Amino acid sequence: MNEPEIFAAGAVLWRQGAKEPELALIHRPKYGDWSFPKGKLKKGEHLLAAAQREVFEETGIRPVLGRPLAPSFYDKEGRLKRVDYWCATPAAEAVDEAVDPREVDGMEWVPLGEASERLTHERDQPVLADFAETVVRETVPFIFVRHAIALSKADWFDQDELRPLNQRGRERASQLEVLLSSYPTPVAYSATSARCLETLLPFCAGEGIPVTGLPEFTSGTAKPGQAMTRMDQLIAEARPVVICGHGETIDELARHFCHKLGSTPPTETPLAKGSFLVFHTGDGEIVATERHG
């Protein structure tokens, strides 16, 4: 019987140096190697949460995630190990006491042109190459969230727009607080339904940002074309945005967004409740897409 796959997550953490981008490489005394910060997922942990945690534990720097990079695959003691990476920039200065010297005893900011020679493992070279290909392109995330699970209509006797999240939905909203905080702080919009606003509330409260309810994003209340007109305005502003809505409207908005930027919409089934799409944009086009359930 095959051993289960090992999952890990990390980031190519970078900053702009005097002449070129500089990358954070860590030295692990156990292996005597130089690599990108990364680590295994804890039981039940999401990839985005693991990437944030591992980068902070190994560098002392809280990362802000950008576009995803090509994952790395390699054999680890007879088991396949997959490491998912993101581009990332520092959210703040390093906190040295966060780093366990038994795990990481050194970190250096290495110029991009020197990173290939400094990296110990050949498996890190494709990740570096993917990063270098478009690193100079600054990306802006547009995040489309379908509201989490609400009380059933059979258990609710008031207006449907007031129907709140159930216990599972509230738990998912709390998870989204952590996952959405991986990206640059956005402007937050939502359909005016209680279940949509509640889905973003923990995240917005944690980030200290308001969530604006928009009737044009609310199923059954908007006039034809209003939602797309508003979407076009948000695209033109080119700021990080998170939008929460109903299944039928959020999928339509995402398709319109892709067509507007000259890209083919994702072909997967519609978003499940509490899941989200992230489109990383740059220079008026979609650079990368993520889907998280």
Residues 6+ apart with CB under 8 A from 288: 67, 68, 139, 279, 280
Note the pLDDT of residue 40. Answer: 96
Note the pLDDT of residue 279. Answer: 97
Note the pLDDT of residue 1. Answer: 41
Q: Locate tokens 């020679």: which residue?
A: 117
The CATH 3.90.79.10 portion of the chain extends over 6-134
Note the pLDDT of residue 223. Answer: 64
Distances (CA, A) of 231 to 136, 216, 236, 259, 272: 27, 10, 9, 12, 21
Note the pLDDT of residue 165. Answer: 97
Q: How far apart are CA 216 and CA 236, in angstroms?
A: 18
Note the pLDDT of residue 137. Answer: 66
Per CATH, the number for 6-134 is 3.90.79.10
Q: How far apart are CA 244 and CA 231, in angstroms?
A: 13
φ and ψ of 211, to 5 deg: -115, 125
Report how far apart the first and last C-alpha atoms of the chain are (Å, whole number). Answer: 28
Averaged pLDDT in 10-residue chunks for the chain of 293 residues: 81 94 96 96 96 96 94 89 96 78 94 96 95 80 97 90 96 97 96 97 97 89 80 96 94 94 86 96 93 92
Which fold is adopted by the domain 140-292? Rossmann fold (3.40.50)
The CATH 3.40.50.1240 portion of the chain extends over 140-292
205-219 residue pLDDT tens: 999 999 999 999 987
232-291 residue pLDDT tens: 999 999 999 999 999 989 999 999 999 999 999 887 778 999 999 999 999 899 999 999
